[in-house]
Each structure stands twice: as structure tokens, then as C-alpha cells.
Amino acid sequence: MKRINLKYLIISLIIILVLSLGSGCLLPSLPTAPPQSPTPTSTATPINPNWTPPTAESQASILPSIADVVALVKPSVVAINTEYVTYDIFNRPYEQQGAGSGWIIDEDGLIVTNNHVVEGAKSVTVTLADGRTFPAETIRTDRLSDLAIVKVSAKKLPAAKVGNSAMLRVGDWVVAIGNSLGQGISATKGIVSAKGISLSVSEGQTLYDLLQTDAAINPGNSGGPLVNMSGEVIGITSVKLAAVEVEGVGYAISSNTAKPIIQQLVQKGYVVRSWLGVVLYTVDQYVVLRYSLAVDKGALITEVAAPSPADEAGIKSGDVITSFDGKEITSADDLIQAIHSSEIGQRVEIIYWRGNSQTTTYAVLAESPPS
């Protein structure tokens, strides 16, 4: 028997293996899928085969020149500078200056401004647009509406025109003009953002029928005019809301609200309203605990004038009024508004708490005395 050469055997096996792999006999070929035909697109029903995009409208009317509005109104706007006596932490008096704005409503020296601009001032001076300065001759104020009249001895002043604030629409352009930052008369523009706003500015004082605007309002603007594009005063700048994340929110007293108050300040020297004769504080958790009140809402009486309708009705300091003429009272502002919406001489029902007892009384409202 012949001996098989191992070297030739190995070479032969390698050749056979290579030929087998090349022919694909060791791994069967996988079947391939036949090509797919494209899916036909579904048929859609047209919405309107004759529709075409709308054509562009004609260009909107051009905004009236703000420069023309400012040029018309600026001569009627004044800077108001004030001096106050205040006290340091050691109770030592020192003088402090303030700045505000105003506008001429009558050529004989009648100027409208805010009460908070002149309230408590030791001296008030008015600087006109032409640079002339006059001391205040007479000042008449109304704290509740934050309005004041300053009279100076000057004639033939350029009075501003007063417009109808009821005609304003949200989105109308307006211009605020005033003594911003005490640096002289300047102007800012914006729009009417909202109308008919009520805003509580201090305890017992809420301003009603305010115009909200995004026109920039800064310290010194108070008392200045907010005017429309016809150059008419439609508001008196009064309040800026300053808080974190609040921007572009300022308020002006509407001209229609201000006009009757201004008229009374000029004609009478004060504003005539219905009067109960009480000083109020809104009931909160502090006063509930401090005075052991039986109710957690209402108007707390802190003072009663004598004589007054409240005094005659038996109301005393420490009582809490919860109902006035059938209206629920939850705060001092509620009661103030209810009193002012009533008539002088009207007999009203008042429900109040004294200690743990509820009492009903009646009062005849009188005319408010001069401030």
C-alpha cells in the first residue's frame, strides 16, 4: 500500500475548499423579493378650485406727526417744583425738593396737577415753557381723586384743549408730556392699553375710571397731560405701576372724570360729596387679632367726627361696618365708594359689629365739609 504524501493531501484539500466557496455551494443563496410597484396616490376632492389668495389692501393711513402734537401742547405744559420740610432719624428738620408736572386749563393762570405733587409742600413754584417762573398763589386739592388746582398770577397763558375721553378706543395713540425726572418738559408716546381701570393707591383711596397706557411714565410726569393725536388732553398722568416683571404700565385720570372735580375745586375750593364722617381701615388678619374682632372682613372705624351722620347714628371707633344701604362691605374702599354713590340727604341702613354683637342703625348722609 502506497503512503500518501501528507503535503500533497493538505494542498489538495485547500484547493477543493477554495473552489467550493467560489461556486457558492456551501452557503445557499437567499431569495430576493421582486421589486414593488409604487402605490397609486389617493384622489382628493378640492375645497374650492376657483379660490385665489386675497389681494393686498391699500396702505393704512399714516399716523399723524407726533412732533406736531408735541409742538401744539408743549407750551401749555408746566414744571412744578416743590419744597418740603421732613425729619431725619434724629427728628431734625431738613428741606427736601420734589418735582412734578401740570398743564394750563385757563389762560388766567389756572393749572391742573395731581394732589400728591403739591400735598404738604412748604412752597410750590411753577415754571412755564417760556422759562418764566411763578410762585403758587392759591392751591386747592382733592386727595380722593388725586387732583389739584394751582393758581398763579399770570394772564394770557396758552391753555390746552380738553378732549372727550369717552371717545378713546383701546389701541389709540397717545402722548404723555411732562417734567420727566425733573429735567424739563419731554414727551413719550404709546397707546391706550385699557380703559375704566380701578386702582387702589393707598388705604382708603382708590382711583376710578383710569386710562392704562404703555407710554413711558417716570417720576416728575405726575400731573402732566396725556393727549390724543388732535392735541387734546384726555387724561392726567397719575400713577405708574412699578414692580418686578411689570413693564409699560402707567395710568392717567380720564378727562371726563376729572372735569367735574376740577370745576368744583375752582368754584368752591373743595369737592362736594356725600359724607358719613368716619375714618376707615380695611379689616385684615392683623386687626382681627389685634382687636379680637368677631368678623374677618369689613370696614373698621378708626375715628368718628363729631358732629357727623355717623356720630348721630351711634357709630363708634372700633365698630366694623359690614353692610351699607343693602350693599355688602368687605373693605374700606367698598364703603367709601358706597357713600360717594349715595345722595346727600339720603337715609341709609348701616349694619355693623361691636364686639360680638351685630347692630343695625340708620344715618342721613350730609354734605362733605371743606378739607
* CATH number of the domain to which 88 belongs: 2.40.10.10
The answer to whether 83 and 72 are in contact (CB under 8 A) is: no
Residue 114 DSSP label:
-
In a domain, 6, yes or no: no
Active-site residue among 145, 180, 222, 255? 222
pLDDT band of residue 55 (cuts 50, 70, 90) is: confident
In a domain, 172, yes or no: yes
Distance CA 362, CA 343 (A): 15
Number of domains in the chain: 3
CATH number at residue 318: 2.30.42.10
Active-site residue among 76, 101, 116, 145? 116
Tell me, yes or no, if 116 is annotated catalytic: yes
Whose CA is closest to 141, among 178, 108, 177, 102? 102
Same domain (yes/no): 254, 173:
yes
CA distances from 357 to 20, 225, 282, 322, 362 (A): 113, 50, 19, 12, 17
Active-site residue among 142, 146, 325, 334? 146
pLDDT band of residue 10 (cuts 50, 70, 90) is: low
Is 44's pLDDT higher than 90? no
State how far Cα 60 lies from the chain centre. 29
110-130 per-position pLDDT tens digit: 999 999 999 999 999 999 999
End residue of a domain, out of 252, 267, 282: 267
300-329 per-position pLDDT tens digit: 999 999 999 999 999 999 999 999 999 999
Q: Which residue has the higher pLDDT, 239 or 91?
A: 91
End residue of a domain, out of 114, 130, 151: 151
Is 11's pLDDT higher than 70? no
The answer to whether 353 and 362 are in contact (CB under 8 A) is: no
Is 67's pLDDT higher than 80? yes
Whose CA is closest to 150, among 137, 132, 131? 137
Same domain (yes/no): 181, 140:
no
* pLDDT at 42 (0 to 100): 57
pLDDT band of residue 137 (cuts 50, 70, 90) is: very high
Tell me, yes or no, if 340 is annotated catalytic: no
In a domain, 212, yes or no: yes
- Domain span at 335: 274-367
Is 244's pLDDT higher than 50? no
Q: Measured on CA atoms in the order 321, 324, 330, 336, is the torsion positive or negative? A: negative
Is 33's pLDDT higher than 60? no
In a domain, 311, yes or no: yes
Distance CA 190, CA 251 (A): 12
Contacts (Cβ under 8 Å, ≥6 apart) of 36: none
* pLDDT at 28 (0 to 100): 47
Same domain (yes/no): 286, 227:
no
End residue of a domain, out of 246, 267, 288: 267
159-198 per-position pLDDT tens digit: 999 999 999 999 999 999 999 988 899 999 999 999 998 8
Same domain (yes/no): 186, 249:
yes
Q: Check residue 348 and give left, alpha or beta (phi > 0: left; psi -120 to 50: alpha).
A: beta
Is 21's pLDDT higher than 60? no
Q: Is 105 helix (H, G, I), strand (E, B) or coil?
A: strand
pLDDT band of residue 229 (cuts 50, 70, 90) is: very high
In a domain, 156, yes or no: no
347-359 per-position pLDDT tens digit: 999 999 999 999 9
* pLDDT at 47 (0 to 100): 87
Same domain (yes/no): 307, 326:
yes
Express as a percent the part of the chain with pLDDT over 90.
Answer: 65
